[in-house]
Amino acid sequence: MTEAVLDAVIIGGGLVGGLTALLLAQGGIQTTVLDAAPLLDRNKVLAQSNARVLALSQASIHLLKTVGVWSHLARYMPYSGMQVWNKNGYGDIMFGQLSLNTPWQEQILGAMVEPSILNLAIQDQMQSLVQDYRTQVKVIRVEQGNALWWIHLADGTTLKTKLVIGADGANSFVREQAFIDTDVLDYQQAGLSCAIRTQKPHQHVARQIFLDTGPLAYLPMASLEPCQNGYWQSIVWTLPDDYAEEYAQLNDAEFCRLLSAQSQHMLGEVLEATPRARFPLKARAAKTYVRDGLVLLGDAAHVIHPLAGQGVNIGCLDAAVLCDALLHDLSRGVWAHRQTLRRYEHIRKGQNEAMMHSMSLLGWLETTALTPIIWVRNFGLKQVDQSATAKDLFMQQAAGISGLKNTRYAIL
Helix, coil or strand: residue 57: strand
227 pLDDT above the threshold of 60? yes
377 pLDDT above the threshold of 70? no
Cβ-count burial of 194 within 10 angstroms (0-12 exposed, 13-18 middle, 19+ buried)? Answer: buried
Distance CA 269, CA 328 (A): 54
How many alpha carbons lie under 13 Å from residue 259 in its C-beta half-sphere? 36
Contact 105, 5 (CB under 8 A): no
**Closest to 364 in 3D by CA, of 200, 189, 134, 163:** 189
For residue 287, the tally of other CB atoms under 10 A from its CB is 10
Buried b (16+ CB within 10 A) or exposed e, 180-190: bebeebebebb
Distance CA 259, CA 70 (A): 33
Question: For the segment 313-359, what is each residue's pLDDT rounded down to a tens digit?
Answer: 999 999 999 999 999 999 899 999 999 999 999 999 987 876 665 55
DSSP annotation string for 226-289:
GGGTTSEEEEEEEEEHHHHHHHHTS-HHHHHHHHHHHTTTBTB-EEEEPPPEEEEEEEEEES-S
Distance CA 101, CA 88 (A): 32
Distance CA 133, CA 368 (A): 48
Mean pLDDT of 373-383: 48
| DSSP conformation class of 108 | -
Residue 364: pLDDT band (50, 70, 90) is: very low
**Closest to 76 in 3D by CA, of 184, 216, 219:** 219
Question: For the segment 180-191, what is each residue's pLDDT rounded down to a tens digit?
Answer: 999 988 888 899
| Predicted structure pTM score | 0.90
For residue 232, the tally of other CB atoms under 10 A from its CB is 24
Residue 365: pLDDT band (50, 70, 90) is: very low
Question: For the segment 120-168, what is each residue's pLDDT rounded down to a tens digit?
Answer: 999 999 999 999 999 999 999 999 999 899 999 999 999 999 999 999 9
Strand runs labelled E in 97-229: 110-113, 132-134, 139-144, 149-153, 158-161, 164-166, 182-198, 205-210, 215-220
Distances (CA, A) of 258 to 33, 84, 251, 273, 307: 45, 20, 11, 12, 21
362 pLDDT above the threshold of 60? no
Question: For the segment 276-295, what is each residue's pLDDT rounded down to a tens digit?
Answer: 999 988 888 999 999 999 99
Strand partners, 240: 189
Contact 160, 6 (CB under 8 A): yes
Task: Delineate the domains of the chain, giving CATH numbers in brackets.
Answer: 2-74+112-184+282-370 (3.50.50.60)
Distance CA 167, CA 315 (A): 9
